[in-house]
């Protein structure tokens, strides 16, 4: 239902709420509602590094993993507004549990915390200090970081096997770190070398950092609102 927010995860007790109507009545202003990853994808499609890309995706790396999918030049939302929910993908087919989803096993925040603990960094949320250790090749930091990048690369391989995308952008705070893209790129190719089928049947997409960083959600929401007002926004 357009404009209705469905709360899940830790906020599932809040149920469903027609947020668009509530804000519209309170403010008298037009309202556009979209999830964060889709809004970020709209921003990149409008003015960023997905502009002119026929088939692409934005993967956001943070507390969990978000996704936005572009096919044939359009943001895909799906009949149930759930396209791109890569965090729900299962990573263990033998024992599927909430703890074995992409969202649970590929948390950038958890990776930062794990490196901080291993390197005895006092503030376990200090990403800058963590990446200083990673970029130094610290023996305590690098294995944790490399394993995280391998999991992201596996996610990208699975997406590519199904969608054959031209370009994938990485978003989230850590996407500005050059070592992140370099290591994910390396891990993708390493996985291909391990299995000739992956080398033959899965083409590595153009992998870039998203352009707009933490401003992407706001820019994309603005784009969605403008398209709604101009009757240009179409649900795919």
Domain limits of the chain? 36-213
| Cβ pair 57, 70 in contact under 8 A | yes
**Which residues on neighbouring strands pair with residue 67, listed in sequence order?**
59
Which string of b and e fits 43-62 if b means at least 16 CB within 10 Å?
Answer: bbbbebbbeebebbbbbbbb
Average pLDDT of the chain is: 88
pLDDT in tens, 128-171: 999 999 999 999 999 999 999 999 999 999 999 999 999 999 99
| Cβ pair 202, 157 in contact under 8 A | yes
Average pLDDT for 62-85: 89
Is the pLDDT at 79 greater than 50? The verdict is yes
| Cβ pair 224, 34 in contact under 8 A | yes
Q: What is the predicted pLDDT for the residue at 3?
A: 58
Q: What is the predicted pLDDT for the residue at 14?
A: 59
More confident: 103 or 31: 103
pLDDT in tens, 183-223: 999 999 999 999 999 999 999 999 999 998 778 888 888 87
CA distance 97 to 99: 5
Share of the chain above pLDDT 90, in %: 60
* pTM of the model as a whole: 0.86
Q: What is the predicted pLDDT for the residue at 213?
A: 79
What residue has token string 């609102």? 225
3-class secondary structure for 61-130?
A: ECCCEEEEEEECCEEECCCCCCCCCHHHCECCCCCCCHHHEHHHHCCHHHHHHHHHHHCCCCCCCCHHHH
Q: What is the predicted pLDDT for the residue at 150?
A: 97
| Cβ pair 69, 76 in contact under 8 A | yes
Strands 16-18 and 56-61: unpaired
pLDDT in tens, 30-73: 877 778 888 899 999 989 999 999 999 999 999 999 999 999 99
pLDDT band at residue 12 using 50, 70 and 90 as cut-offs: low
CATH of domain 36-213: 3.30.420.40
Q: What is the predicted pLDDT for the residue at 1?
A: 40
């Amino acid at each position: 239902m357009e404009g209705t927010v469905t709360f899940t995860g830790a906020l599932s007790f809040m149920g469903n709420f027609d947020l668009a109507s509530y804000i519209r009545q309170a403010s008298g202003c037009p309202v556009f509602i979209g999830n964060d990853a889709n809004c970020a994808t709209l921003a990149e499609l409008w003015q960023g590094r997905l502009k002119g890309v026929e088939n692409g995706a934005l993967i956001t790396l943070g507390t969990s993993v978000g996704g936005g999918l572009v096919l044939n030049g359009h943001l895909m939302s799906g009949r149930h507004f759930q396209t791109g929910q890569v965090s729900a993908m299962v990573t263990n087919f033998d024992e599927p549990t909430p703890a074995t989803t992409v969202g649970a096993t590929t948390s950038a925040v958890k990776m930062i915390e794990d490196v901080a603990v291993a390197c005895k960094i006092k503030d376990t949320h200090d990403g800058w200090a963590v990446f200083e250790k990673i970029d130094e090749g610290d023996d305590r930091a690098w294995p944790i970081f490399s394993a995280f990048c391998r999991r992201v690369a596996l996610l990208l391989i699975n997406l590519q096997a199904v969608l054959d995308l031209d370009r994938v952008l990485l978003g989230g705070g850590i996407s500005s770190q050059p070592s992140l893209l370099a290591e994910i790129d390396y891990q993708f190719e390493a996985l291909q070398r391990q299995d000739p089928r992956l080398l033959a049947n899965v083409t590595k997409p153009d992998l870039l950092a998203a352009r707009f960083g933490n401003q992407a959600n706001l820019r994309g929401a603005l784009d969605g609102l403008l398209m709604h007002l101009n009757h240009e926004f179409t649900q795919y």
